[in-house]
Amino acid sequence: MNETLHTETAQRAMQAVQHEGCSDARIILMHNDEDTIQVRNESLERLQHATSTSLALNLFIDGREGFFYTNDLRPDALSRFVREAVQATTLLHPDETRTLADPSRYYRGDGLGLDNCDSMLSAISPDEKISLARRTNDQVLGCDHRIICAETHYSDRLHSAYTLISNGFEGYEESSHITLSTIVTVSGDDGRHFMDGWGETRIRFRDMPSEGVAPIALQRALRKIGQRPVRSGNYTMIVESPVAGSLLAPMLAAMNGQAIQQRTSFLANRLGTRVGSSLLHIVDDPHIPGTRGACYFDYDGVATQRRILFDEGRLTTFFIDTPYGNKLRMAPTTQGTHHLIFRPSDKSLHQLMSDYPEAILVTDFNGGNCDPTTGNFSYGIEGFLLNKGEIVQPVSGVNITGNQLRLWESLVGVANDADPWETELIPSLAFDEVAFGGK
Amino acid sequence: MTSPFPFQPEDLRRVLSEALSRGGHYADIFLEDTSIRSLELQDGMVSQAVQTVLYGAGIRVLCGEQTGFAYTMELTMPAMLRAATFAASIGRYGKGGENRQMPLPCLATASKWTRSDEKTENLSPLAVRDILLHIDQMAHEMDRRIVRVKASLNQRLQTVSLVNSLGEEFTDIRPRTTLFVHIVMEQSGQTEMGYASRMMQMGAEMVTETTIREVVSEAVRRAAFLFGASRIEGGETTVVMAAGAGGILLHEAIGHAFEADFIRQGTSVFADMLGKEICSPDITIVDDGTQQGDAGCLAWDDEGTKGLRTVLVADGRLESFMHDRISARHFQVSPTGNGRRQSFRHPPLPRMRSTYMLPGQATADDIIRSVRRGILAEVFTNGQVQIGAGDFTFYMKQGHLIEDGRITRPLRDMNIIGNGPRALRDISLVGNDLQFDHSASMCGKGGQNVPVSQGLPTVLINKLTVG
């Protein structure tokens, strides 16, 4: 990113905003460099490069709030864009709760030390990236006669953003991530196809694993051959770490200020109360150097901090931004999670599986939804029926049903296998007496 | 129509020439100028506006079945040539490259299409503000239990131009208007939320009093319905898909698996079934880009193929897959006009448009009367499919239990699971009441979302898993 040029563009936009008579505004100028590579079997299928610069403008005019986004940064176009944005905002009804954050909450540090950006990424040539994707895919080609297709995707992104807020905030941040993933499709004896994948994400190119991704994907696809439903009933459910976040997502959504104010949150009256078993212990820690999601300030410019979200089963935080803090008459916190850590145990996944005589290991969710007002959910799952920790049958065509609050109350086990390179570090989790609907 | 993009034909010819300089056999430039304007009502006030401008060009080079792609948000010749140079580099890798030095046609004499005879008008912000306030009042008058109304009206105007190395060129204006209404109700300490929407490829003319009342009524009815609804124990059961929104069955059970990139890769469960009988001869399924006003309507797709009506299943036989240029070349058939992209920032992929089943002979009442025990699935929120195995799911927000041929109690919040080929074979009755669903329906694939629609007459599926 040309930091000076982009800083000047944002400052020019701020001057235009103020020239149009608007005194309160937030401007974010974002720049992304992205490469995508897709290798299918022996061939390079797709090579893609993208460079984008865009400007987000958030205006506050006498309690009226407008969000505006453009990537047309030609000076004339930007002036017209700002003028129209101010006009559109002026037409709204005043809502005195819509204000910028209190400047005393803004981050005031130097922005250094997070160590979450690969400054060398732009120097890596497309040939090196293609070579990594090809080498990865080649690791499974010809390994098993049941392989129909092996596809490896490489993608990287170098992101930077400059934020300027009219009541006294200026901040610059940058980050990077690189993802390498393989999807393998195999054929069973009966001609049915089974597909599964595996992926790894890192902050730096040099940390990308050169082995393992594709073989794990192949092994995961092969073990699905012969999937069939289990009989309906209540089972212990063990949810594998890579997909455990899907179960937690409705809880995090229900902690959002807008959901609470709009009465569409099943956690609305539960702050400070017990909403899960004592194993439900989660912190958001955005200040750990070298981790994804690490940041010193949020979208509002507000300084981030370590927060306990669930303290041994007790709900301790709502995600409240300034407008919804005003509407709810609650102290604002932050808008969401940055680097979430679910407290692990000292058990491996296999040890956790062995704790239960019969259980179902859920390795993926297949559709389903959760009602935000009641917390009732129904999800399709696939995975494996376990007996004393050993796989006895691959499972698909089965739903789980329940209620979020009852589910988290039934949390009985936690493993230690969360991927440290994710923004949400959630280990495999075990729940007692979950209703499975199959045959 | 004057082109909104700052290039002369010779400029674009130069960019295409650069794009093909490393051995590609085909190249196209997709230019886009889109504005999206939305106002939102919440707590009785229209206090939030959202506007987005998307402006740029995507340059794609095909080299056999390989794709090189780059985009730029800076519409200048140096930036366009840089993007073309990157996209061209696909020619350096592996297969393809058989058309090096391909002569370019003269753009001035090539095929040109422009849809310029249609005027699109958007509503002014003041008019939208009044409509949203009207919705708020209308909803509160419909039911005293309402405690929250949230509504938004989104007006999108996309102007696109495509120029390709075959000498084809088109410019199209694609308006899209979407109305969303959320209702929250409380009764005896219980809170429920209902939601309804409309999305059409048209401008202000979509927002009539009739449409507004339909959408608000639907949202209010759906919220109220949930107070008395419950779930049944999970397991296998007979499912009647209601006409209209039940079209999600086609989208998830077969639609994605008929997209020809999955066929070309051999991963789709239907990959070897072309020409074979896959379901009852009473069933004909179409994917259609020609229905005016429909969210899936395309005068030309996003790689220059004219919008077509494609019969996928004819009288129970698999007739065609949905092709873009790459898969059409692979199978040596004509593209079917299914090459779609979310924006200039994405390369095209084979995607659905409006997918529906033609009507059969039975009445909806006959179908329900034929069921000893099962469910009538009526309102849906989301669905997905696993292409390899063909296992699909969709989430039923609202439905009814059927016992001894009669609708008995209301049901809610159940996930329905099936397998595409098996579910298609298990359709035993097709109703005579085809309806189209014009709810805001976005289909996601490969990180891209495009608007689609679907239609279905009432159908009976002998067995699916619900839970």
Residues of chain B contacting residue A55, judged by C-beta atoms under 8 Å apart: none
Predicted confidence band of residue B95 (pLDDT cuts 50, 70, 90): low
Q: Tokens 């003041």 belong to which residue?
A: B126
How many angstroms separate the CA of residue A52 from the nearest CA in chain B? 6
Whole-number percent of chain B with pLDDT over 90 = 88
pLDDT at B100: 46
Q: Could you tell me the pTM of the whole model?
A: 0.93
How many angstroms separate the CA of residue B50 from the nearest CA in chain A? 5
For residue range B22-33, what is the model confidence (pLDDT) as tens digits? 999 999 999 999
Rg, chain B, Cα only: 24
Q: Tokens 């805001």 belong to which residue?
A: B440
- Between residues 371 and 410 of chain B, which touch chain A (CB distance below 8 Å)? 381-384, 386-395, 397
pLDDT at B97: 45
Q: What is the mean pLDDT of residues B42-71?
A: 95
Q: What is the mean pLDDT of residues B2-8?
A: 82
Domain boundaries, chain B: 9-37+45-114, 125-158+175-227, 235-466
Predicted confidence band of residue B463 (pLDDT cuts 50, 70, 90): very high
**Cβ–Cβ contacts within 10 Å for residue A249, how many?**
12
Backbone phi, psi, residue A316, to 5°? -120, -5
Q: Domain B125-158+175-227, CATH 3.10.50.40 — does that match?
A: no
Whether the CA torsion B258, B261, B264, B269 is positive or negative: it is negative
Predicted confidence band of residue B92 (pLDDT cuts 50, 70, 90): confident
Contact present, A208 and A202 (Cβ < 8 Å):
yes
Q: What is the 3-state secondary structure (H, E, C) of chain A?
A: CCHHHHHHHHHHHHHHHHHCCCCEEEEEEEEEEEEEEEEECCEEEEEEEEEEEEEEEEEEECCEEEEEEECCCCHHHHHHHHHHHHHHHHCCCCCCCCCCCCHHHECCCCCCCCCCCCCCHHHCCHHHHHHHHHHHHHCCCCCCCCEEEEEEEEEEEEEEEEEEECCCEEEEEEEEEEEEEEEEEEECCCCCEEEEEEEEEECCHHHCCCCCHHHHHHHHHHCCCCCECCCCEEEEEEECHHHHHHHHHHHHHHCEHHHHHCCCCCCCCCCCCECCCCCCCEEECCCCCCCCCCCCECCCCEECCCEEEEECCEECCCECCHHHHHHHCCCCCCCCCCCEEECCCCCCHHHHHHCCCEEEEEEEEEEEEECCCCCEEEEEEEEEEEECCEEEEEEEEEEEEEEHHHHHHCEEEECCCCCCCCCEECCCEEEEEEEEECC
Q: Which ipTM did the prediction report?
A: 0.92
pLDDT at B166: 92
Predicted confidence band of residue B122 (pLDDT cuts 50, 70, 90): confident
For residue range B203-222, what is the model confidence (pLDDT) as tens digits? 999 999 999 999 999 999 99
Residues of chain A contacting residue B348, judged by C-beta atoms under 8 Å apart: none
For residue range B356-372, what is the model confidence (pLDDT) as tens digits? 999 999 999 999 999 99
Q: Is pLDDT of B378 > 90?
A: yes
For residue range B380-398, what is the model confidence (pLDDT) as tens digits? 999 999 888 899 999 999 9
Q: Is pLDDT of B120 > 70?
A: no
> Which CATH number describes the domain made up of B9-37+45-114?
3.30.2290.10
Residues of chain B contacting residue A193, judged by C-beta atoms under 8 Å apart: 267-269, 388-390
Mean per-residue pLDDT over chain B, rounded: 93
- Which of A194, A218, A399, A434 best probes binding to B when mutated, by most B CB atoms within 10 angstroms? A399
Q: Do B413 and A378 touch (CB under 8 A)?
A: yes
Nearest Cα residue to B93 out of B119, B65, B132, B71: B65
Residues of chain A contacting residue B90, judged by C-beta atoms under 8 Å apart: 44, 47
Predicted confidence band of residue B119 (pLDDT cuts 50, 70, 90): low
Listed as ranges, residues in chain A with pLDDT below 70 are 1-2
Residues A366 and A438: their CA atoms lie apart, in Å, by: 14
For residue range B142-160, what is the model confidence (pLDDT) as tens digits? 999 999 999 999 999 999 9
How many angstroms separate the CA of residue B66 from the nearest CA in chain A? 5
Q: Do A193 and B390 touch (CB under 8 A)?
A: yes
Q: Is pLDDT of B108 > 90?
A: no
Q: Is pLDDT of B106 > 60?
A: no
Q: Is pLDDT of B2 > 80?
A: no
Tell me how far the alpha carbon of residue A416 is from its chain's centroid: 20
Q: Are strands A376-387 and A358-370 parallel, antiparallel or unpaired?
A: antiparallel
Whole-number percent of chain A with pLDDT over 90 = 95
Residues A3-222: name the CATH superfamily. PmbA/TldD superfamily (3.30.2290.10)
For residue range A105-158, what is the model confidence (pLDDT) as tens digits? 999 998 889 999 999 999 999 999 999 999 999 999 999 999 999 999 999 999
| The residue type at A277 | S
**Shortest CA distance from A226: residue in chain B:** B389
Contact present, B323 and B262 (Cβ < 8 Å):
no
Tokens of A166: 């009219």
**Shortest CA distance from A97: residue in chain B:** B47
pLDDT at B104: 52
pLDDT at A190: 87
Q: Tell me, yes or no, if A46 comes closer than 8 A to chain B by beta carbon.
A: yes
Domain boundaries, chain A: 3-222, 233-437
How many angstroms separate the CA of residue B45 from the nearest CA in chain A? 6
How many angstroms separate the CA of residue A350 from the nearest CA in chain B? 27
Predicted confidence band of residue B111 (pLDDT cuts 50, 70, 90): low
